Structure 1
Amino acid sequence: MKRSSGARLCSTAAIGVLSFSLLTACSDEGSKDTSDSKASSSAASSSAPAAKALTTAELEKLLLAQGEVKGYKVASGDDTLPSSKSKVKTDKPACDPLAWATAALAPGDTDANAGNAVSEDKLSAATAKPTDLADAFDIDMTYVGLSSYAGDGAEKAMKAVSDGVAACAGGYGLKADGESTEVTRTAAEKGAAKGDETVAFASDVSMEGEGTATFHTAVVRKGNTVATFYTVNFAAMAKGGEMGAVPAAVIDAQVAKLK
């Protein structure tokens, strides 16, 4: 399907289980120069130890697990998310952090990254079974990514996302797994204040001549860990139009687990 192909690229995450295909900073070395000079001038005014990045294994333990968000199912992102940033590229380097954030990849400069998928559980005991196939696909699935940074890398990652929203307001080209699509517009949104810092944005994506679809992304920093959230509704994606906002329950539960 042309439409589902375009959606795969806009989210840059392959959703094979549903036969649908679908988003820093510099290193922390610069911050060390300043802290070192302050330490040399006075031992009493030495700054606090620089934050240490968590490992990928540690981040995986912080990802939401099944049963931690009422009304939602949690699945591994191994089969649905791109394995590396090299598979997700834009035609404007400033837009790369936005594309990475939608693919549950680190928006900043780090190798410590983990991701999974959290979806509405519409087949729970408290919910009636869907009446048809279209009903079954009318669910919100949120791709969650965690990344960790040393020093002030997390703050720089957030700035890269914020700067990217402004720089990519007119859109950008996106290429994933050899296929291309077009993000026609990016705009900042007022996201709920979470963690230490939040950046939210909307992206309009071309559906290959059949209109556009609008997707929403939230990026939250807590300490030196950055969480990214990107939500897709399969039924809405097939029709084009507006996707739902990132569920507050998913953001709240994930941020609460961060150190």
Structure 2
Amino acid sequence: MKRSSGVRLCATAAVGALSFVLVTGCSGGDSGGDAKGSGTTAKALGAAELKKLIIAGGEVPGFKVGAVPATRSRAITSDSASCRPLARVMSGLPPADAAARTDRMATENQKKTPTAKPTSLDDVDEGTFEETMHKSLDRDITTVTLASYDGDGAEKPLASVSTAVKDCASGFPAQQAGTKLRFTKVAEEKATGTGDGSVAFTATMNSGDGDPAPARAEVVRLGNTLSVYFTTNLGAIMAKKAYTVSPEVVKAQQAKLK
């Protein structure tokens, strides 16, 4: 059965609407922020020290770890001050400026090679097309950011995320590269990481055709260092399948910090 032009257009629109969750992350993560710290004795780790502590290639089973591409540097912003920490986390940034930070991207290996190998999109029936697309895109992409603060300076940014999850439960407006976005709801989730404190949440955006587009994030504090995790999975979103912040990535990263 030939696919109609309507199905082709819907698929294109879905990928376009959901792709915003994959273009986040900050490639300039090895630079320092402008936080001044709390003045207590604990000093923030420098960017060079953080680079040694962040996950590297071969350290996360089932994932390829590399630099965050420059093409993913379009940060999500929000005019809502109370919800801004969530927008920053979903941009691969710490919830507040840090003394130093660094980042990496962990991309899950493709779970299963799609069986259909059409020579033309018009030769694929609707069901096969959707199944092939879902399988090819069904893998977690997680941005990992380490941010270090002076003294107890990491506690307030973590608390701001926890507060924002509650205050922004009914959603909030945002922008990315000049495009207006609307997150329709925010919900707290069970955190995967262990440390001195953690917050996990799901922020859902309407994809434009009525289907929800959820993005997952988690922030974990260990001493004066925050680990920020932001995970998307386009295949799972399109197939309306549940997914979480990649537990393998969180486990590997938190283990390096201990």
Range into which the TM-score falls when normalised by the shorter chain: 0.7 to 0.9
Partner in structure 2 of residue 171 of structure 1: 171
CA displacement at 1:119 relative to structure 2: 1.8
CA displacement at 1:174 relative to structure 2: 1.3
CA displacement at 1:207 relative to structure 2: 0.3
Indicate whether 1:2 and 2:13 are aligned.
yes
CA displacement at 1:130 relative to structure 2: 3.4
Give the 3-state SS of the residue equivalent to 2:151 in structure 1. Answer: coil
Partner of residue 94 from structure 1, selected from 69, 82, 87? 82
Indicate whether 1:68 and 2:59 are aligned.
yes
Partner deviation per Cα, 1:41-84 (whole Å, 9 max, x = no partner): xxxxxxxx52211222322222211110111111210335327x
CA displacement at 1:241 relative to structure 2: 3.3
Equivalent pairs, count: 225
Indicate whether 1:28 and 2:37 are aligned.
yes
Partner in structure 1 of residue 157 of structure 2: 157
Matched residue type, 1:188: E
Q: Structure 2: how far apart are the matches of 1:200 and 1:229? A: 9
CA displacement at 1:168 relative to structure 2: 0.7
Partner deviation per Cα, 1:138-196 (whole Å, 9 max, x = no partner): 21111111111111111111001111111111111111111121110011112235122
Q: Is the 8 A contact 1:10 1:181 kept in 2?
A: no
1:60–1:188 Cα change, 3 Å: same
CA displacement at 1:220 relative to structure 2: 0.6
Q: Which runs of 5+ in 1 are unaligned?
A: 15-23, 33-48
Give the 3-state SS of the residue equivalent to 2:70 in structure 1. Answer: coil
CA displacement at 1:10 relative to structure 2: 4.3
1:4–1:65 Cα change, 3 Å: same
RMSD: 2.6
1:57–1:179 Cα change, 3 Å: farther
Partner deviation per Cα, 1:236-258 (whole Å, 9 max, x = no partner): 23x26355111221101001112
Identical pairs, percent: 34
CA displacement at 1:122 relative to structure 2: 2.8
Partner in structure 2 of residue 108 of structure 1: 96
Q: Is the 8 A contact 2:165 2:188 kept in 1?
A: yes
Q: Which runs of 5+ in 2 are unaligned?
A: 1-11, 26-32, 117-131
Q: Is the 8 A contact 2:35 2:99 kept in 1?
A: no
TM-score normalised over the length of structure 1: 0.77
Q: Structure 1: how far apart are the matches of 2:143 and 2:46? A: 20
Give the 3-state SS of the residue equivalent to 1:226 in structure 2. Answer: strand
Q: Structure 2: how far apart are the matches of 1:80 and 1:219? A: 24
Matched residue type, 1:187: A
Q: Is the 8 A contact 2:63 2:106 kept in 1?
A: yes
Partner in structure 2 of residue 131 of structure 1: 115
Partner deviation per Cα, 1:105-149 (whole Å, 9 max, x = no partner): 1112325222221122237xxxx6432452222211111111111
Q: Is the 8 A contact 2:35 2:149 kept in 1?
A: no
Matched residue type, 2:114: P
Partner in structure 1 of residue 201 of structure 2: 201
Q: Structure 2: how far apart are the matches of 1:89 and 1:164? A: 14
Partner in structure 2 of residue 18 of structure 1: none
Partner in structure 1 of residue 247 of structure 2: 248
Give the 3-state SS of the residue equivalent to 2:244 in structure 1. Answer: coil
Q: Structure 2: how far apart are the matches of 1:203 and 1:27? A: 30
Matched residue type, 1:130: P
Q: Structure 2: how far apart are the matches of 1:193 and 1:66? A: 20
TM-score normalised over the length of structure 2: 0.77
Q: Structure 2: how far apart are the matches of 1:151 and 1:186? A: 30
Q: Structure 2: how far apart are the matches of 1:111 and 1:218? A: 20
Indicate the larger mover: 226-235 or 103-112.
103-112
1:242–1:203 Cα change, 3 Å: farther
Indicate the larger mover: 104-113 or 5-14.
5-14
